[in-house]
Amino acid sequence: MMSTLATTNRRVLLAARPVGLPTAANWTFSDAPLADLAEGELRVRVSAISLDPAMRGWMNEGKSYIAPVGIGEVMRAGGVGVVEASRHPGYAVGDAVSGSTGVQTHWTVAPERDRGHGLGKIDLRLGTPTQWLNVLGMPGMTAYFGLMDVGLPNLTKPAGETLVVSGAAGAVGQTVGQLAKLKGLRVVGIAGGAAKCDWVVKELGFDACIDYKAGPSAVRDGLKEHCPQGVDIYFDNVGGDILDTVLARINRRARIVICGAISQYNNTTPVQGPKNYLSLLVNRARMEGMVVFDYADRYHLAVAEMAGYLKDGRMKSREDVATGGVDAFPATLNKLFSGENFGKLVLSLEG
């Protein structure tokens, strides 16, 4: 019988560490033969990969919360796919899975051998494969635990609290804002452009959204207008000037969740720290970093809650699905830094 299984794995390798925005020179493409599986291994045909701002950090040399991707290694990425061959008793051909697939068409993994594989089955009754890379996946978990465990909304008096979230129309931001609304808070987003702002207000139910690209004082003026009672929680996805501007409007005992700082990731000069940090002192406020992987043992609880919201329509999940296979990865990744993605950016490897 003729086999329909692929015999080669197309991969994107890190060729050189970038300075500033990644370019074509940072990547190489390679086709590697697929070897027979060893005992304990399984092979996943990757159907979609997650494009994450964190990838830019993984390309850098140096100490972080996770080791850098080595030169010549397959670029690290979260992904979803289907098991197409298995010599592992826990996985059967046809199982839908997610994990740290890498930017490649086929992922061969031995869960008992490989560290940091993140392999797990996904239940497609709870969400589509791309929703498993969004609300039910890493960005959704970041939103959930960043808000609930670090932002610490006052759930006994939620209507008295105002949350501001930047990157509001992106993967993490869309879920932070929707979850905060579901918990009863006033929610104000910050995003680039009228279309994104309209969407988070009209479709997601945020109370307001500030277009930070509308002018040099847009954020300051917008916060004044839309946060008349000040800011109790700021969920920061972007850092830089926007962080400083929000710090100027925080309330006593405010919580600033340092989730990310995408405005700084391609800097060729030192990262811009907050100039207004003394606002933390004056307001007895707290600024705390978070890394989603610390909450892995509780993901199942967040998934169960958010899958319920997806099912009953109280939460929306917008993915921006790019096509072109792994060869389109370099150009697609850079959309995160130009703001061209609208919703969670995913690269489909199908078709």
Q: Which residues bind ligand NAP (CB under 6 A)?
A: 52-54, 139, 142, 167, 169-173, 191-193, 196, 237-238, 259-263, 290-292, 336-337, 339, 341, 344-345
Closest approach of Cβ 254 to ligand NAP, in Å? 19
- Rg (C-alpha) for the chain, rounded Å, is 21
Closest to ligand NAP by CB, 82 or 331: 331
CA–CA distance from 15 to each of 31, 325, 331 (Å)?
Answer: 15, 19, 15
Closest approach of Cβ 77 to ligand NAP, in Å? 12
Closest approach of Cβ 206 to ligand NAP, in Å? 13
Closest approach of Cβ 168 to ligand NAP, in Å? 7
CA distance 85 to 103: 19
Closest to ligand NAP by CB, 85 or 292: 292
Task: Count other C-beta atoms under 10 Å from residue 274's C-beta.
Answer: 19
Closest to ligand NAP by CB, 278 or 301: 301
Closest approach of Cβ 190 to ligand NAP, in Å? 7
Residue found under tokens 């811009």: 272
Closest approach of Cβ 170 to ligand NAP, in Å? 2
Closest to ligand NAP by CB, 91 or 199: 199
DSSP state of 273: -
CB hemisphere CA count around 23 (13 angstroms): 4
CA–CA distance from 193 to each of 78, 118, 175, 317, 335 (Å)?
Answer: 28, 35, 19, 20, 15
Both ends of the chain: CA-CA distance in Å? 24
Closest to ligand NAP by CB, 82 or 321: 321
CA distance 143 to 134: 10
Closest to ligand NAP by CB, 21 or 110: 21
